[in-house]
Amino acid sequence: MNTRPSNSHPLQTETDIHTVTTISQALQGARHELQACSPSPAVDAGILLCHVLACTSAHLIAWPEKELNAEQAMQFEQLVAQRKQGTPVAYLTGTREFWSLDFKVTPDVLIPRAETETLVEFIIETFSEQPSLNVVDLGTGSGAIACALARERPGWNITATDVSEQALVIAQHNATLNQVNIAEFVHGSWFEPIRDRQFDIIVSNPPYVAVNDPHLESGDLRFEPTSALTSGEQGMDDIRRLTQQAGACLKSGGWLILEHGFDQQQLVREAFGKSGFIDIIQRNDIAGLPRMSAAHKA
Ligand SMILES: C[S@@+](CC[C@H](N)C(=O)[O-])C[C@H]1O[C@@H](n2cnc3c(N)ncnc32)[C@H](O)[C@@H]1O
* 214 pLDDT more than 90: yes
Whether ligand 1 lies within 6 angstroms of the CB of 261 is answered as: no
Question: In angstroms, what is the span from residue 202 Cα to ligand 1's centroid?
Answer: 13
In the predicted model, what is the mean pLDDT of residues 261-289? 98
- Give span(s): CATH 3.40.50.150, the chain: 98-296
Best substitution site from 104, 162, 170, 231 to test ligand 1's pocket, by max atoms within 8 Å of Cβ? Answer: 162
Pocket flag, ligand 1, residue 76 (CB < 6 Å): no
Nearest ligand 1 atom to the CA of 98 is: 9
Please state, for a pLDDT cut of 90, what percent of the chain lies above it: 93
Residue 3 has pLDDT above 70, yes or no: no
Atom of ligand 1 nearest to the CA of 190: 20
Whether 198 has a pLDDT exceeding 80, the answer reads yes
pTM value?
Answer: 0.92
Contacts of 120-127 with CB under 8 Å at 24 or more apart are 120/145, 120/148, 120/149, 120/152, 122/257, 122/281, 122/283, 122/292, 122/294, 123/149, 123/201, 123/203, 123/257, 124/149, 124/152, 124/153, 126/255, 126/294, 127/153, 127/200, 127/201
Residues 6+ apart with CB under 8 A from 280: 269, 272, 273, 293, 294, 295
The whole-number pLDDT of residue 20 equals 82
The model's pLDDT over 51-104, given as tens digits with 9 standing for 90+, comes to 999 999 999 999 999 999 999 999 999 999 999 999 999 999 999 999 999 999
pLDDT in tens, 161-187: 999 999 999 999 999 999 999 999 999
Nearest-CA residue for ligand 1 atom 17 is 163
For the domain spanning 98-296, the CATH number is 3.40.50.150
pLDDT given at position 19: 72
Label residue 148 by pLDDT band (50, 70, 90). very high
Using a pLDDT cut of 70, give the percent of the chain over it: 94
Position 263 scores a pLDDT of: 97
User: 235 CA distance to ligand 1 centroid (A)?
Assistant: 13
Other beta carbons less than 10 A from residue 251's beta carbon: 14
CB 154 within 8 A of CB 181: yes
The boundaries of every CATH 1.10.8.10 domain in the chain are: 14-86
- The CATH class of the 14-86 domain is mainly alpha
163 lines ligand 1 (CB under 6 A): yes
